[in-house]
Chains A and B, each alone.
Chain A
Amino acid sequence: MTRLTSYLRPGMALPLRVAGSVLVLVGALLPWATFVLNDGPYPAKSTLQFFDAPFEVGGFRLHMALLGLAALVVTFAPVPGRGRILRGLGWGAVLVSAVNVLFIAYNGGGLGAVTVADMPAFGGLVALLGGLAVLAGAYAGGIEQPVHLPTGLNRFVAWAVLLVSFAGLLMMVAWTLTAGGQGGVANPYAGAQFLSFLGFAGGLLAALHGAGVLPWISRLSEDHRPFSIVVLLGCALALPFTGAGTDYWMTVAANIGVYAATAIGLNVVVGLAGMLDIGYVAFLGIGAFVAANLSGAVAAKVDITLPFPVAAVIAAVVAGMFGSVVGSPTLRVRGDYLAIVTLAFGEIFVRSAQNNIGGLTGGPNAIPGVPQVSMFGTGFSEPITLGGTKLPSGVLYYFLTVLLVALVMGMFANLKNSRIGRAWIAIREDEDVAKAMGISTGRIKILAFTVGATTAGLSGAVFAHKLGTVSYESFKFLESVTLISAVILGGMGSIPGAVLGASLLFVLPEKLREFSDYRLLLFGLALVLIMRFRPQGLVPDRHRRAELAGEDIEGRPLEETVSEQAHLPTAAPVLPGEARA
């Protein structure tokens, strides 16, 4: 980046920015596709529609127009961090136009689909150029230091800000889920529209980040932690009331919840204690099979039926016991070997389940017919009506999983800040030093496994009832890899990271079902790329970020901190070249 941007002079900044924003705006209104594609006209009336009803643009064209407008306004308005904001907006514009241009070109059989000699169907290319110009203008004008907005606000003002921002987050999530509509024969462009929306959302978020708004909100939420938690919980529970409240999304969201809870448990083992466990899904399976057997399903071996909360607790306990069993032999083993041992345990579980060990797992026939959880008078799979609004079926399972995730998150946060949590982090950083400091590493490591396994067992119980069937096929090695990826992608050791990781890994394959052939291919590629370019994950834990990405606790790059410290006036003379640590 720096090599390219060195060609830009500050004088070019203003014209570039203005030209860029105008081009983006114009591009949004031009037609994008020159003919009707095989599957139907491209959405947002972008086929051959030229400046027609400019205030009625919708879909991705609306996104482009908004980006262009915002860029234009920011170029002239006296906002701090202008360069950073424009950089974010520029990227957004580039991504949206690139996605749509590529998709139309591919579907239309070549660049002819986006360029026409006799009619100005250049919308895509114009917008792309505009986005690049905005980017260039942003760099030419100089990227400022990160903006720090004031944080010492009155409590109620802070609360108001938090309420608004979390409500915004909720709307963003709902829009992301419903972006592009539900793919299918009637809507073959869903995947592309979804990607385009992601580009738009990404650009918007980058702009907000550049303006310093996002770090400000996160600092505010840390200062007013209890309030933030309550509001977040409320927003999560409010999701079924938004546009994403359909049967389909409730099912997906409930599954995400189960996997997110499991991922948080895995985070204890991997993120906090630093032990790589790639057979972890076995604990989810153990919990699920125990719950299935105690649920009174016809195929269950055991003939007891217990109410759901009791069965869930038993499932968690049993899984926890297995966790200690797995944990003990691993005490003497480190690093890579640990990973292989856990892999071996995972495979032993799958094989045993497939062979119906002890008659408990149903083998290849699985244990079908696990009844729904039934409390407060309704089965959890029925649609209900709350306060006049009809909610989709499965919504009660969704609420249950939100509760589960909240519970697990709370437990995790408590543990992380406790002595045990600190002991885990110490073991992760350097086990021998930890032992020298008097931590009984053996017991603490087994505790990590036990806690993680218990969490997975609890999630497994919910999983069994939600899905209705428990089969060994749900717990294969690939699922373990997916769980690990969710933790890594989201950020090791960070709670929101695990939830984000699990969500991404579940939502993306659902939204991009057109690309289902390439799902695993992209998945493998993504793992490689993430470890190469962003090993600390998307929402990194502060310590991890410092460790892996060369930043200090505040999030500023180390070079900045060091140079800043070196310029501070000191009482005593400092030897040349000596900087404060």
Chain B
Amino acid sequence: MTTLLQQIANGIVLGAVIGLVALGYTMVYGIIQLINFAHGEVFMVGAYGGLATYTWILPHSMRGHWQITLPASMLGGVVVAVVVAVIMERFAYRPLRNAPRLAPLITALGVSVFLQEAVRLFYPDAKSARPFPAMFVGGGLRLPVPGGQVILPWIRVALVVIAILLAVALQMYVNRSRMGRAMRATAQDRDTARLMGIDPDRVIVLTFVLGAALAGVGGVLYGAYQNTINVDMGFQNGIFAFTAAVLGGIGSLRGAVIGAFAIGLIKTLGGQYLPGGTQYDYVWIFVVLILVLVFRPEGLFGEAEKVRA
């Protein structure tokens, strides 16, 4: 029983990270119908940004205090991630806005490879894994449950809390603010939105910025909870995040978050209970992806895709 609950807790934590990345995927797809393959790399870059902030910008004296290191690293990660995403949008995706669907997809693949290698080559000593500072030292939440304890180190608790807060904030922003309305309008019908006085380019940039910010936070928190980052972390988590977005219904924010928790749980519970165990947990997620795409492509909360002219 303890194991089950522990795995559920683990799944929720993983889901929180994936959710932060999935929100970015779903927003960008909703607005320009592009699967931004490189979003996983934005997540990775955010983590390295946080590490860079911690290593070079933060004075040594402040290192022990999580109240300072955590927000500072997150801020650093967000800044780096946003800058990269904006450059990516401006130079790689915007010129291809009207090209046939294949072109931006291939470009996204190219950007993804490029970012991975750029960090590997130019960030000092990034060729192998880098240790990432643990923000909290020791301790954690110990929840007594029948049969033992479920243990959640503080960083994981922080992760879940921050992820949920950010998701809720994003939802409120998109639903209530003017810019949010503009985003939804552009997602629905770009040309009409333009006629209504909305500048689609600005809206799209904003979408990328928001998605990248969330991914940056996710990267820093992920690094903190694993104590290590490496340049390959973007690819795998990117795929999970995309699966989550699809599962929840691409274009729907709520769907992305719920899908993410679902994926997290599938990975941990599948690894625990399904045949093949942890060797194939990755595979189960893909099976889910394929099943969803085949039988219910609109996902749990999305609308059936309207055929575009």
Contact = CB atoms under 8 A, between A and B. Distances in A.
A338 B286 CA distance: 13
Contact of B35 (A274, A340, A517): A340
B290 interface: yes
A351 B280 contact: yes
B283 A523 contact: no
B33 interface: yes
Contacts, number: 122
Interface residues on A, range: 35 or more
B154 interface: no
Given A336-B35, A337-B246, A532-B96, A526 B110 contact: yes
Contacts of B112: 524
Given A432-B307, A484-B106, A488-B106, A341 B113 contact: no
B282 A347 contact: yes
Interface stretch (A216-224, A306-314, A327-335): A327-335
A527 B106 contact: yes
Contacts of A340: 35, 242, 246, 289, 293
Contacts of B89: none
A527 B110 contact: yes
Nearest to B99: A535
Given A344-B290, A527-B106, A548-B100, A351 B111 contact: no
A337 B243 CA distance: 10
A405 B22 CA distance: 42
Interface stretch (B53-61, B68-76, B116-124, B211-219): B116-124
A448 interface: no
Contact of A517 (B106, B121, B297): B121
Contacts of B110: 523-528, 531
A149 interface: no
B96 A531 contact: yes
B289 A531 contact: no
Given A278-B109, A524-B112, A535-B103, A333 B293 contact: yes
A524 B115 CA distance: 8
Contact of B107 (A332, A477, A521, A532): A532
B114 A525 contact: yes
A531 B103 contact: yes
A340 B242 CA distance: 9
A274 B103 CA distance: 12
B239 interface: yes
Interface residues on B, range: 35 or more
Q: What secondary structure prevails in chain A residues at the interface with B?
A: helix
Nearest to A520: B117
B107 A527 contact: yes
A357 to B, nearest CB: 9
A452 to B, nearest CB: 16
B196 interface: no
Interface in B103-146: 103-107, 109-118, 121
A481 interface: yes
Contacts of B114: 521, 524-525, 527-528
Given A518-B121, A528-B107, A531-B96, A333 B297 contact: yes
Interface string A347-358: 110011001000
A252 interface: no
B294 interface: yes
B286 A348 contact: yes
Q: What secondary structure prevails in chain B residues at the interface with A?
A: helix
Given A336-B101, A355-B279, A521-B121, A528 B290 contact: no
B95 interface: yes
Contact of A332 (B33, B102, B297): B297
Contact of A528 (B35, B92, B235, B276): B92
A339 interface: yes
Residue among B107, B246, B282, B297 facing the most chain A CB atoms (10 A cut-off): B107
A481 B109 contact: yes
B117 A521 contact: yes
B283 A351 contact: yes
Interface string B261-276: 0000000000000001
Contacts of B109: 278, 481, 484, 524, 527
Interface string A416-439: 000000000000000010000000
A258 B280 CA distance: 31
Contacts of A347: 239, 282-283, 286
Nearest to B111: A528
Interface string A461-502: 000000000000000011001001100100010000000000
A337 B13 CA distance: 27
A341 B293 contact: yes
Interface string A501-529: 00000000000000001101101111110
A488 B297 CA distance: 28
Contacts of B283: 347-348, 351-352
A341 B111 CA distance: 20
Interface string B8-47: 0000000000000000000001000111000000000000
A88 B116 CA distance: 36
Nearest to B295: A332
Contacts of A492: 102
B105 A276 contact: yes
Contacts of B104: 531
Interface string B73-101: 00000000000000000001001100111
B309 to A, nearest CB: 10
Interface of A: 274, 276, 278, 329-330, 332-333, 335-337, 339-341, 343-345, 347-348, 351-352, 355, 432, 477-478, 481, 484-485, 488, 492, 517-518, 520-521, 523-528, 531-532, 535, 547-548
Interface of B: 29, 33-35, 92, 95-96, 99-107, 109-118, 121, 235, 239, 242, 246, 276, 279-280, 282-283, 286-287, 289-290, 293-294, 297, 307
23 contacts: A332-B294, A332-B297, A333-B294, A340-B242, A344-B286, A348-B287, A351-B282, A352-B283, A484-B106, A517-B121, A518-B121, A521-B114, A523-B113, A524-B109, A524-B112, A524-B115, A525-B114, A527-B109, A528-B92, A531-B103, A532-B92, A547-B100, A548-B99
Given A336-B33, A521-B121, A524-B113, 14 more contacts: A336-B34, A337-B246, A337-B293, A340-B293, A344-B286, A344-B290, A347-B282, A347-B286, A348-B283, A352-B283, A484-B109, A523-B113, A528-B111, A531-B107
